Amino acid sequence: MTHVQTSPPSTAPPSDSANRVTLGLSNRILARPEVGALVAAILIFVFFLVSAPAFRSGESFFTVLYQSSTIGIVAVGVGLLMIGGEFDLSAGVITTTAGLVNSMVCWYFGMNLWVGAILSLVFCLFIGFVNGFLVMKTGIPSFLITLGTFFVLQGANLGVTKLVTGSVSSADISQIDGFASLQKIFSSSFKIGPVTVWITVIWWILFVALAAWILQRTRTGNWIYAVGGNPDSARAVGVPVIRTKIGLFMTVSFLGWFIGMHTLYRFNTLQAGNGVGNEFLYIIAAVVGGTLLTGGYGNAIGVAIGAFIFGMTSLGIVYAGWDPNWFKAFLGVMLLLAVLVNLYVKRMSTARKVG
């Protein structure tokens, strides 16, 4: 007689891969952080094309891009910082600080503006380092640390400017050595047919591309997601949490310096009270673009789309001839909707099947 040997049924638990849901193409697309913002941007764009005839020209479109770039450049850094799990409420006012340091140091001491620009950059990076260092070494939430920095810089901007110039605006720097070359870098424009393209639009695209590459293609990008998702787990596997987060704060300060240089070299002078409130616009651009307030989720493309929505709305309301006071109400509604959509998309992207 032939005996057939059968193996006993396996009692091993199912593998983790068997518990994972294989998402369809539509679900994978919807799970992208920037998808909600992209749909909203298309709808808003079409809406203003229909309701505002002045919005349809090429010149208007590039004006929207310029408006978006002045918010979007700093929003890139703020978005990276939020993915890393932190906030910087001094991001708006530091743009004015950067311009004022450059302007007043060179005007008062008779220095070349290039020297002032470098000193301003060093000062801004120092502020970013201090913000990050205090957050990491004290354990105090970044919201409170940078709120303190916000008030210090706001008061210093007004107080020092009035002490040096006798007013709350800086002196005209257009006749100081170095102005022409710095203006070409930070605040020049060129023509493409009938439309004017500001250099900040080009810089914005480059900064977004660089941030997207870092997040998706480099070890540093993995670190940023890790420290935002779970810093303790990230530290346990060797991620330099302190260095990464301090670097993110310094990135925000660098991009704030960049926009400060643009503002100074476009208008030749600055009002010391400028920049207050812009920190919320940067945060809104990041959140609308799919960045979670809890950290660990988002991308640079989404932040750029969020900034573009800001530019379209702020100018589209004007082109449509509506009361611009409604713009802030729209921002509030947009922020609330973005938070709800982001939570839904986050749940979809982390879906698992048990059993």
Percentage of the chain beyond pLDDT 70 is 88
Report strand pairing: 195-198 vs 189-192.
antiparallel
Please, which residues have CB within 8 angstroms of residue 350's CB and are 6 or more apart in sequence?
none
Q: Which residues of 264-274 are buried (b: 16+ CB within 10 A; e: fewer)?
A: bbbebbbbbeb
Token duo for residue 211: 């941030």
**Looking up tokens 């698992």, which residue turns up?**
352
Phi, psi torsion values for 271, nearest 5 degrees:
-90, 130
Cβ atoms of residues 40 and 288 within 8 Å: yes
Q: Note if the pTM is more than 0.75.
A: yes
Strand partners, 20: 352
- The CATH fold assigned to 32-354 is ABC transporter involved in vitamin B12 uptake, BtuC (1.10.3470)
Within a 10 A sphere around the Cβ of 285, how many other Cβ atoms?
31
**Looking up tokens 């929003």, which residue turns up?**
75
Alpha-carbon distance of 123 to 147, in angstroms, equals 18
Token duo for residue 15: 């593998």
Q: Which residues of 159-194 are buried (b: 16+ CB within 10 A; e: fewer)?
A: eebeebbeeebbbebeebebbeebbeebbbeeeeee
Within a 10 A sphere around the Cβ of 209, how many other Cβ atoms?
14
Please count the residues of the chain. Answer: 355
Q: What is the pLDDT of residues 248-304, one digit of tens each?
A: 999 999 999 999 999 999 999 999 999 898 999 999 999 988 888 888 888 999 999
Q: What is the pLDDT of residues 136-195, one digit of tens each?
A: 999 999 999 999 999 999 999 999 999 988 889 999 999 999 999 999 999 999 998 889
Q: What is the pLDDT of residues 20-72, one digit of tens each?
A: 445 555 566 666 777 778 888 888 889 889 888 888 888 889 999 999 999 99
